[in-house]
Structure 1
Amino acid sequence: MEKINKIFILGGASFLGYHTIKEAVNRGYQVKTVDIVDLPENLKFKAEDKVEFIINNIFSKSDQEIIDILKDCDSFIYAGGVDERVVPQKPAGKFFYEKNVLPTQKFARLAKLAGVKNFVLFGSYTSEFAENDFELRKYNYHKEAYVQTRLMQEEIAIYEGDGSMKVSILRLPYIFGYMEGKTPVCKMYVEMIKDMEFMPVTNGGMSIVTANQVGQAAISALENGEDKKAYPLATGYISHKDFYQKIIEELGQEDITKLQVMSFDDLEEAYREDEKLTDSEGVEHGIRQINMLRANCRELKIDSQTAYKDLRVKEEDLDQVIKETIHFANN
Structure 2
Amino acid sequence: MNVLIFGGTGLLGSAAAQIFIDRGHKVKTIALPPLPEGAPIPEEMEIEFGNFLELTDEELEKAMTGVDAFVYAAGVDERVEFPAPVYDAYKKFNIDPVDRCLAMAKKCGVKRCVVLGSYFAWLAKDRPDMKLCEKHPYIRSRIDQENVAFKYADDDMGVAVLELPYIFGTQPGRRPVWVILIEQLQRFEKMPFTMYPKGGTAMLTVRQVGEAIVGAAEQVKGARAYGISCYNLTWREFLKIVYRAMDGIPDRKIVDVPKWTFQAFGLVMRKDYAKRNVDSGIDPVGLADIMGMNLFIPTDDTKELGCTPDDIEAAIFDSITLSKASFEGKAKLLDMKGE
TM-score by length of 1: 0.90
Segment of structure 1 superposing worse, 170-179 or 257-266: 257-266
Aligned residue for 1:319, secondary structure, equals: helix
One-letter code of the match for 1:262?
V
User: Residue 19 of structure 1: which of 15, 22, 38 is its match?
Assistant: 15
Aligned twin of 2:105: 111
User: Residue 327 of structure 1: which of 321, 331, 335 is its match?
Assistant: 321
One-letter code of the match for 2:101?
F
Displacement of 1:42: 6.0
Q: Is the 8 A contact 1:68 1:114 kept in 2?
A: no
Aligned twin of 2:47: 53
Q: Is the 8 A contact 2:16 2:210 kept in 1?
A: yes
Displacement of 1:258: 5.4
Aligned residue for 1:271, secondary structure, equals: helix
Equivalent residues in 2 for 1:85-234, closer than 5 Å:
85-134=79-128, 137-138=129-130, 140-143=131-134, 144-162=136-154, 164-194=156-186, 196-198=189-191, 199-234=194-229
Aligned twin of 1:291: 286
Equivalent residues in 2 for 1:237-316, closer than 5 Å:
237-252=232-247, 254=249, 259-308=254-303, 310-316=304-310
One-letter code of the match for 2:24?
G
Q: Is the 8 A contact 1:197 1:258 kept in 2?
A: no
Q: CA RMSD in A?
A: 2.1
Displacement of 1:167: 0.7
Equivalent residues in 2 for 1:26-65, closer than 5 Å:
26-39=22-35, 40=37, 43-46=40-43, 49=44, 51-65=45-59
Q: Which runs of 5+ in 2 are unaligned?
A: 326-339
Displacement of 1:279: 3.3
Aligned residue for 2:151, secondary structure, equals: helix
Distance 2:248 2:307 in 1: 35
Displacement of 1:257: 7.1
Displacement of 1:219: 1.0
Distance 2:190 2:146 in 1: 43
CA change 1:324–1:253 in 2 (3 A) is: closer
Aligned twin of 2:328: none
Q: Is the 8 A contact 1:196 1:256 kept in 2?
A: no
Q: Is the 8 A contact 1:176 1:322 kept in 2?
A: yes
One-letter code of the match for 1:153?
Q
Distance 1:267 1:68 in 2: 50
Q: Is the 8 A contact 1:130 1:141 kept in 2?
A: yes
Runs of 4+ in 1 over 6 A off after TM superposition: none
Distance 2:313 2:197 in 1: 20
One-letter code of the match for 2:318?
E
User: Residue 79 of structure 1: which of 55, 73, 83 is its match?
Assistant: 73
Q: Is the 8 A contact 2:14 2:41 kept in 1?
A: no
One-letter code of the match for 2:147?
E
Distance 1:250 1:322 in 2: 8
Q: Note the alpha carbon deviations across 1:151-200, whole angstroms, 9 max, x for none.
A: 11111111134464211111000001111111111122124334712332
Segment of structure 1 superposing worse, 16-25 or 266-275: 266-275
CA change 1:43–1:269 in 2 (3 A) is: closer
Identity of matched residues, %: 25
Aligned residue for 1:295, secondary structure, equals: helix
Segment of structure 1 superposing worse, 278-287 or 234-243: 278-287
